[in-house]
Each structure stands twice: as C-alpha cells, then as structure tokens.
Chain A
Amino acid sequence: MKKTECVAMLLAGGQGSRLGVLTERVAKPAVPYGGKYRIIDFPLSNCANSGITTVGVLTQYQPLELNDYIGSGKNWDLDHQEGGVHILPPFQRSQGGDWYKGTANAIYQNLAFIERYNPEYVLILSGDHIYKMDYAQMLQQHKDTGAACTIAVLEVPMEEASRFGIMNVNPDGSIYEFEEKPKNPKSNLASMGIYVFSWDKLRKYLIEDEADPNSSNDFGKNVIPLMLGQNEKMQVFRFADYWKDVGTIDSLWEANLDLLNPKVDIDLQDPAWRIYSKTPSAPPQYISPEANVQNSMITEGCEVYGAVDFSILSDNVVVEKGANVLYSIIMPGAKICAGATVQYAIVAENAVIGAGAVVGQRPEDCKDLDNWGVSVVGAGLKVGAGATVGPKQMIREDVKEGVAL
C-alpha cells in the first residue's frame, strides 16, 4: 500500500448546543449553510483540495443526517481505493466501550484507525468553522520547523483576545505559553483548533493524557499544555484569511449574510479552491413575474413569487406571492406562504411559515434592543397563518394560527 503521509481527523461529534433547535436532531457539521452547503463541506473540501485523501470523521451526536450526507465521500473527491473518508463513531471493544469523553479522548479511541495508515503526520480539524485553508502549507511549515505540534492561529482584535485560547510566542513563532481565555492576554494569536502533530508525538501524549484521571481529555485544555510542559517544540501557523465560527445562532446568521457582503472576502466561486457539497437533483430556480429579488443568494429548486432581500435561500425553498423575506436564512425545503414576512430570522429545513404570519422583527422596529435578536423556527415545524413570532424567539414546536409569541 502506498504510504499515507498525513491522515486528517475531523471532530464532528459535538452537539453544538448553542444552536438550540437547529441541532436538536442534527449534528452541527450537518447544519445547512450558504444556500447549498453544510458546515462540514469546508473542512472536507479543504482536505481534498490540499491533497489529503484519508479523512476520519468522528461522529457521536445525532449522526444520521451527517452519515447520509457524507456517504462514500465521492462528492468531495474522497472516495478512494486506499483511504478516503471514513465515519468513525464510538465502538465497543472486548473490554467494553465508551462515548467520546473529550476531543483528545475521541482521537485516543481511534488510534488504531490512524495506525492502519501509519502516517507521519496527523491533522486534527473540527467541523465547526467556515474557512478555506491549504493544509499542505501548514504541513510544510511543520516539516520545515521540525515541530512536534503546529497550531494554526488567527490574529484577533486585542479587545476580544480574552474570549479565545491564546498562544504566546517567541519571534520565531515557537510557542512558550498557552493561556485559555486569559483576563490579561499577552498576545492576540487565537488558536483555531487546527493542529498538525507528528504521529509518534501525538500517540505518546494521547496515551499519557488518557492515563491521567484528572484530565478532561481535551486538546486545548490538556494535551497542548502537557506537551508544552515537557518542552516539546510547538509552532504557530499564522492564518490571515476569512474564518468564522458558526457555533451560535448569531454567528451562524452573520456568517451566512457575510456571503452577501462585498467587503468580506470569502469567494466560494474560486475555481482553484472549490467548496464541494452534495446537492439534491433539483430543477433550476424560477423567479416569477411578480418576484423582487435583491442582494440575495438563491439556489436550485427554489420558486420565488414574492420579495427576497438580503437573504439566503437554500434548495427547494418556495416564497409565495406577497411574501417578504429579508435579512434571513431559509434552509432547504422550507415554504414561506403568501403574504408572510420573515425578517432577521433563520427558518430551518422543511418548516412552513403560514400565510400572513410574521417571524422576527427588524431592529429599527424593536423598542427593547437588549431583547432583540435573530428568531429561529426549527426543522419541520409549522407557524400557523397569521401568527407572530417576535425577535430572539427559538421555536421548538408548531405555532397555532393567530398566536403571538
């Protein structure tokens, strides 16, 4: 078997609880984004475009939709004779089994998977972020510097640094200290949760960390400090392009609308770095004579008879006559009925917003801005005709006709 140089391990097991109803039955990496993508398309496409052909996707929470979506990996060019994409759920061994206890434990439980390929390097990724990155460049720097671990970092505004895991570095980029959410940050280099390890070092420290009963088995909290403490050579890899965490309703909504902002540099049409996805077979979008579409993104299968402004429609969305969609994200298969208004909201897959209903509120119309926020209607739910859903509401069950929430 041809030797695999680098195996990527993609942590896709988290619940993403801050996304509320959007991740009630679906893992966060499978949440729709940008009209025709899902969050996991970014790390998967980055792997394929970077030449990494062996990818383990570690699942745990509500994996069905994710598993179905990934399939054989063919859509990301990851269906290979050797390697390719593999779904890795927790499994039983003869001595019993365990759920994944933390990010490091998840990899620890899959050491045997990595062993099969006997790579020189392991790339640890998460399925939570929207970004385009050439991992081959990071891998090259890791080789050039002879590091045991290379951590990708992003410069954040100093005022925000205390929200992140911060790397304190020497002039040559080597890390001398790691501080989790420091009150007085010494640098503004935030960890992106993307690591390249030399395989032997990773194996060593995962085993060591697992043996520590006091460890929470987390890369950032436990394994990185452990390696630093033992004077391993750790290096930062600086990343300066667009990178967005989509772990909260607000950040998911913003990340979507960033695609409509000409000032934000995230080009999904770049032929040199395609973001692949699995899309259902759907007819081309139809824009009717009465439609009014401005500053929005729409994809296949949509039928627009109403007004869409500064919004993103996923596949097979119907916006009926007289309906208004503004500053909103509408996920696949949802239907916005005649005369309804959806503003500053996220409407999840296959939800139905009844005729004349109003979901969300414009900030300029809100009297109490502290309680203003993006409204969310969960997957498959129905908001009855004439109902009203106010700002910052998270709808987890059907809303009856005429009800005001």
Chain B
Amino acid sequence: MRANEVMGIVFPNAHDDLMAQMTVLRSMGAVPFGARYRLIDFSLSNLVNAGITKVGVITRANYQSLMDHLGSGKPWDLDRKKGGIFFLPPYGYSETRVYTGHVDALQGAMSYIRKAKEQYVVLCDADVISNIDLSEMLAQHERSGADVTVAYKKGKLPKNHRDIMSFTFSQDGRAKEILLSNTIAGDCNYSLDIVVIRRELLISLVAEASAKGKTSLWRDVLQPGVDTLKIYGYKVDTFAAVMDGIDSYVAANTALIECPKARQELFCKDRPVYTKTRDDMPTKYGLEAKVTNSLVADGCIIEGEVKNCVLFRGVTVKKGAVLENCIIMQDCTVGEGSALKYVVFDKNVTTGNHLTLCGAENFPVYIDKGQNI
C-alpha cells in the first residue's frame, strides 16, 4: 500500500495514570525522555518515517505542554496544506466528553475519521519508546490479508500496565487467543499498542462497541473478536521500551547510556527521531568537568562530575558537584559541591550548594517541576 493511503492517530494520554508525578501537569506524550525528546516524538517519528503525512492527536487532559511542543507540526514535517497534524481535544462537539478508553476516544473524533479519505489507519499510544519501520508493518498487514495487525514484542510483560494485551499465535501467525494483563511468569508476546486497521473497519467496530457502551478497544473489541477478526502480530525485535511507571522510565533512559545497541536501534540513521528544537548553543564542558558514560543534550554547562547520567537541554552542573546515575530534565541547576545519586529531576529544579540527595538503584528519588532544594 502507498503511504498516502494511510493516516495515523496518536493517543498521548493513554496511560497517564501510570506515570504518577510526571503526568500531574502534562500528558504522557509530553513526558521528557532521552535528553531531548518527549514520548510522543517516537510515535510521530515512526509514522512520518513510514511516509504517513496525516496524523490526528486525540487528547484528553493536561494537553497544554503537548500543544506547545507540537505547534504546527513542522519538526515532524507535519505542517502541511494536505493532511498534516490535527489536534483533537475533547469537547469537539456537544456530545463529546473526556474519554476513558480508545473506543470512546475514537468515537469523539469520528467526524475527523469519517472525513478522511485514507484507506488505512495506524493507531499508536505514546507509551512505547521505539524506532519501528512501520512501512514494513503495513506491508505485512497487506500481505497477510489481516483485518488488524498489532505490533508486539516477546519478553516479560510490563507488570504495571492495566490492560496490555498478550497474544498466542497459531502457525500461520494469526492470533488465536488474546489475554489482558495476564500475570504469567516468563516471556510472552505483549502488545506495543500500535495497530494497523482499515479505516472503514475501524469506524464500524467503534460504532458497534460505542453503541453498547464499551470503552476499551483491547478488552471489548479485539479480545472477544479474536475468532471473527483476522488479527495478526507484527514482531518487533529492536529496542522497544513500554513505559508503565517510573521504574521503566529510568530503565529506558539507562539503557540508552549502558547499551550501544539500544542507542543505535533507537537513533537509527535511516529513520531519525524528530523533535522540537530549541536553538541552544552546544554544551560547554568546563576546566574541571569530568563526564563519563552519559547522554548530554545541548545548552548544558558542565563544570562538575557527571557519571552514568542523562542530562537534558540547558542543565547547569556547577563546580565540585557530583552526579551519579541521575536523570536531569531541562534547565535544572545543580549547585556547587552538591552530590546527587539515583535522582530524577523534572524541569527547572534547582539545588543550592553542598547539598546531598540520594536515592537507591531500585528507588530513585523524583523531584517535581520547578522545585528549589
């Protein structure tokens, strides 16, 4: 199928509740990640790298920072006359309300979906950090004659997810059973919440489910429909991290520092990850800077010691400060001589001089946006 026959729909609020403090004031899609990105960048980049130029973003709440980030869509090449990015906040018209699941979210955006001319839709949540060649997934969908194709990964089920699908496939690759948040030991085929489906089929499935007051696309449509619908899986072997809480968030950031393969797969040169830029100057390393095993964005001024950290844009690390295993978001300042270990700072946090803040490997300390320690 040609890329212009496909449109994308992204759900940036899909699992807000899992990210606790990080999503108090922002949607999941707007959560900063990996020194210079926000979670939605991965879904959007996957879509545009497959040549998809029409993307609807269905939001639910806390979407101000997301709107600011997306703007007109220019960084993802989605600022277009034909197609481009389309923001779909709730209350689009009198009957809509804040949605609870994918079904009522899609029902609320139905006029946008009906008006589209594209034959296929790719649905994406914004909770999976990945770089996936969606054009391959689309090609497989067409070849297999599937009604629905869901991207999946084989491994341990993300444990905090409340409604993640896991599949059992038959010989020919068709799903014969779907379980939800199955507490199974060992490996399983778990969904990455990226779905390819024909637009007309999506419209009828959503209309039917909505008429019965159903809200979950997984529990109420795909799981019971595994025999009537031809559901196939698209296996993803490359780096794909599902965000289901602060632990997975820290682990994914850490993977980028520790594992060159993860970096290479996520920042694949053939399919770059696009994001909104800020025109910061290059990062300055001072005279006594000692930086090792870290991922650093632009605009930082580093005069202290930084080990195994992820530093976002505009972070200042003053002289004598020592940071170990930390994730420091935009524009934070770490004062002179301060020591931070296993700490996650949200944006604009500042510490005074000679302060110590220490978490543990399995218990990082998270500090809210704008705090002054």
Contacts and interface: CB of A to CB of B under 8 A. Distances in A.
Nearest to B312: A284
B286 A36 contact: no
A181 interface: no
Interface centre among A34, A269, A279 (most CB of B within 10 A): A269
Contacts of B263: 283, 286
Nearest to B272: A281
A275 B296 CA distance: 21
A268 B283 CA distance: 11
Interface string B245-269: 0000000000001000001001100
B283 A299 contact: yes
Nearest to B302: A293
B34 interface: yes
B292 A289 contact: yes
Nearest to A285: B296
B273 A281 contact: yes
A294 interface: yes
Given A293-B285, A294-B287, A300 B279 contact: no
Contact of A268 (B266, B281, B297): B281
Contacts of B35: 284
B280 A269 contact: yes
B273 A284 contact: no
A333 to B, nearest CB: 11
A298 B280 contact: no
Interface string B341-372: 00000000000000000000000000000000
A287 B290 CA distance: 10
A296 B292 contact: no
Interface in B221-271: 257, 263, 266-267
A298 B282 contact: yes
Interface string A249-293: 000000000001000000011000011110101111111111111
Contact of B274 (A281, A288, A293): A281
B294 A277 contact: no
B291 A287 contact: yes
B289 A293 contact: yes
Contacts of B299: 269
A284 B291 contact: no
B284 A283 contact: no
B336 interface: no
B285 A298 contact: yes
B40 to A, nearest CB: 15
Nearest to B35: A284
Contacts of B310: 284
Interface residues of B, number: 35
Contacts of B298: 36, 284, 299-300
Contacts of A74: 74
Nearest to A286: B295
Interface in A279-334: 279, 281-300, 308, 312-313
Tell me what chain A mostly uses at the interface: helix, strand, loop, or mixed.
Answer: loop
B281 A293 contact: no
B160 interface: no
A295 B149 CA distance: 51
Tell me what chain B mostly uses at the interface: helix, strand, loop, or mixed.
Answer: loop
B36 A284 contact: yes
Contacts of A292: 290
A35 interface: yes
B279 A276 contact: yes
B277 interface: yes
Contacts of B274: 281
Contact of A297 (B266, B285, B288, B295): B285
A295 B283 CA distance: 10
B292 A288 contact: yes
Contacts of A297: 281-285
B144 interface: no
Contacts of B277: 279
Nearest to A284: B35
A287 B286 CA distance: 15
Contacts of A289: 292-293
A93 B294 CA distance: 58
A327 to B, nearest CB: 14
A277 B279 contact: yes
A283 B277 CA distance: 12
Contacts of B287: 294-295
Given A284-B35, A300-B297, A35 B279 contact: no
Contacts of B294: 286-287
Given A281-B273, A283-B263, A291 B283 contact: no
Interface centre among A34, A276, A287, A313 (most CB of B within 10 A): A287
A274 B293 CA distance: 30
Given A283-B273, A284-B295, A36 B281 contact: yes
A284 B280 contact: no
Nearest to A315: B282
A288 B293 contact: yes
Nearest to B266: A283
Contacts of A35: 281-282
Given A35-B282, A295-B285, A284 B292 contact: no
A291 B292 contact: yes
A45 B56 CA distance: 34
Contact of A299 (B257, B273, B282): B282
Top-3 shortest CB links A-B:
A35-B282, A284-B35, A299-B282
Interface of B: 34-36, 74, 257, 263, 266-267, 272-275, 277, 279-299, 310
Given A36-B298, A286-B263, 6 more contacts: A35-B282, A281-B274, A283-B36, A283-B263, A284-B35, A288-B292
29 contacts: A34-B281, A34-B282, A35-B281, A36-B298, A260-B284, A269-B280, A274-B279, A275-B279, A281-B273, A282-B267, A284-B35, A284-B295, A284-B298, A286-B257, A286-B294, A286-B295, A288-B292, A291-B291, A291-B292, A294-B287, A294-B289, A295-B287, A295-B289, A297-B284, A298-B285, A298-B296, A300-B298, A308-B285, A312-B282
